[in-house]
Amino acid sequence: MNTKQLIYSVLVFLLLTSCSQSGNDSLYDLLDLEEITVDQLQERYNNGNLTASQVTRAYLDRIEAIDRNGPGLNAILTVNPNALEIADELDRERRDGNVRGPLHGVPIILKDNINTTDMQTTAGSRFMEGSVPPQDAFIVKRLREEGAIILAKANLSEWANFHSSFSSSGWSGLGGQVNNPYDLTRNPCGSSSGSGVAASANLATLTIGTETNGSIVCPSNANGIVGFKPTIGLWSRSGIIPISHTTDSAGPMVRTVRDAAILLSSATGVDPRDEFSAASEEHIHDDYTQFLNEDGLQGKRLGLYTQPLGNHFRVDTLMNETVRKLEELGAEIIEIDQISETNIGGDSFQVLLYEFKDGLNKYFASLGEDAPVSSIEELAELTRNTPEETEKFDRNLILMAAEKGDLDSEEYREALENMLRYSREEGIDRVMDEHNLDAFISPTGSPAWKTDVTLGDNFSLSSSSPSARAGYPIITVPMGELDGLPFGLSFFGRAWSEPVLLEIAYAFEQATQHRIIPEFKN
């Protein structure tokens, strides 16, 4: 370290101590972490002008200042008590010339249905409070190996929003209601609500959510960030509290497409505990940033999925403007009014009920003797006998799933076969072949609605179901705003098409720069 760097570090240390004692978030401002990217963070680490310890403390102060106090986002359930110790160790490794990877010293917040051995994993349920799993989720193990700092666990829609006939996204019995950072009276969407708010409000450099159908892309849409659900199996799901092993995946929730590509690269890998991950081996790329191309829309044929249109005229207007922009950037747009010719909503619902029961029972068993709940049947019984559990929401999905049979059931097998057939070979694959498409586009959703725990959510439009039911990848990028509320554009396509989706999403992002920083209005 040269003299200039030493002086800078001493000054930062003194200011860090002062800021910590004063209880405000000025250290975050002092260190200039607003909207910081992984590349920018690594550059400042490498030139000696910043340490992981400083960044970690700044984010922890910011969580205290604006999440738990201040505007009260309520996005964080648990802070890692070891975060500063981990950061100190990673700083020592860097000084010794050992940099593990592109995430070395990068703070990440995880949705609280992803196992961590140093924090509880609860899915937002009061019945799971205090449950510390015996081993990390596979993706957490990969992130730690890359040098990431698991900073905190994010609040979420309880049980990933598969619990009641209606609900308020971002609400959990354990954590309460997550609030949208653009307007605290509005909903953050779910179920990865806390992850979306944490990324948007700059509570960490990166966050991770999970999705069964819309739970990454919808909160990314409502919180003005980039959300990426990969092909099922590209990221292992072992150690994640499940809904459906056929359609669940974790994925990046970040502020830029490049950071999504970096994070995507770092958590891939074949995991013996997730048989779906075996299919990813021949499709994994060590570095997904190689596919980022500012001219990536040139010559692309994009199918405009029109079914979500017609629900909000102002969204339609901005979508039409976006289509013209995509054409200016070299894309050809082909209107597609439907992807599946068969309604498979009922089949999809049955698959979720059966796989939720099977998956929860296996997850509870993985916790061993310390499991706070032994089975979904016990969960249903606890729910019936705990009045506060049904005070706001009926918990019908938990009760219905508990009554289902096993995965050998004919009802389940037929529903699964129909869902996959009409979403894949008779759905996305068929339409892409017929029209020679590179990807689909569609508005991700509408701007955020007013939070209402009495009447529940107000989804006016969504485009996630075709990719969700197929288990295919989807990425959403900010597309614009209405009255200060952001919303996004989704790109989705075939299995393992992450490279082309990143290419076109990056080209759109770089040409438009629609990301807006929230101001915590009320």
pLDDT digits (tens, 9 = 90+) for 297-310: 999 999 999 999 99
Q: How far is CA 384 from CA 124, 380, 392, 418, in A?
A: 18, 6, 14, 33
pLDDT digits (tens, 9 = 90+) for 461-510: 999 999 999 999 999 999 999 999 999 999 999 999 999 999 999 999 99
pLDDT of residue 206: 99
Position 255 scores a pLDDT of 99
Task: Please tell me which residue in 125, 169, 191, 266 is annotated as part of the active site.
Answer: 191
Q: Does position 15 have pLDDT exceeding 90, yes or no?
A: no
Dihedral angle, C-alpha 362, 367, 373, 375, nearest 10 °: 20
Q: Does residue 490 carry a catalytic annotation?
A: no
Q: Is the pLDDT reported for residue 410 higher than 50?
A: yes
Confidence band for 4, pLDDT divided at 50, 70 and 90: very low
Q: Does the pLDDT of residue 14 top 80, yes or no?
A: no
Q: Which CATH number fits domain 27-339+414-516: 1.10.10.10, 1.10.760.10, 3.40.50.620, 3.90.1300.10?
A: 3.90.1300.10
Residue 336: how many other CB atoms lie within 10 Å: 21
How much is the pLDDT for 23? 46
- In the residue annotation, 111 being an active-site residue is answered as yes
Rounded distance between C-alpha atoms, residue 143 and residue 43, angstroms: 20
Pick the residue with more confidence: 107 or 25?
107
- pLDDT of 34 reads 98
What sign does the dihedral 259-265-266-270 (CA atoms) show?
positive
Interatomic CA distance for residues 196 and 35, integer angstroms: 14
**What is the structure's pLDDT at 2?**
53
Q: What is the pLDDT of residue 25?
A: 46
pLDDT digits (tens, 9 = 90+) for 126-161: 999 999 999 999 999 999 999 999 999 999 999 999
- Per the annotation, the verdict on 191 as an active-site residue is yes
Helices 38-46/257-266 angle, 10° precision = 80
Q: What are phi and psi of 324, to 5 degrees?
A: -65, -40
Q: Is the dihedral of CA 64, 115, 140, 234 positive or negative?
A: negative
CB atoms under 10 Å from CB of 15, counted, come to: 15
pLDDT at position 12 is 52
Q: Can you tell me whether residue 99 is helix, strand or coil?
A: coil
Phi, psi at 301, each rounded to 5°: -105, 115
Beta-bridge mates of residue 488: 478
Tell me what pLDDT residue 497 has: 98
The per-residue pLDDT for range 193-218, each reduced to its tens digit, is: 999 999 999 999 999 999 999 999 99
7: CB partners within 8 A, 6+ apart: none
Residue 41 structure tokens: 């963070």
Which phi and psi angles does 439 have, rounded to 5°?
-170, 170
| Residues linked to residue 109 through DSSP beta bridges, in sequence order | 152, 207
Q: Packing angle between helix 345-366 and helix 376-384, nearest 10 degrees?
A: 100
Section 386-397 average pLDDT: 97
Q: Quick one: which H or E segment has residue 476? A: strand 474-482
Residues 6+ apart with CB under 8 A from 417: none
Report the alpha-carbon distance of residue 121 to residue 110 in Å, rounded: 10
DSSP character for 65?
A: I
> Out of 172, 215, 236, 446, which one is annotated catalytic?
215
> Averaged over 73-94, what is the pLDDT?
98
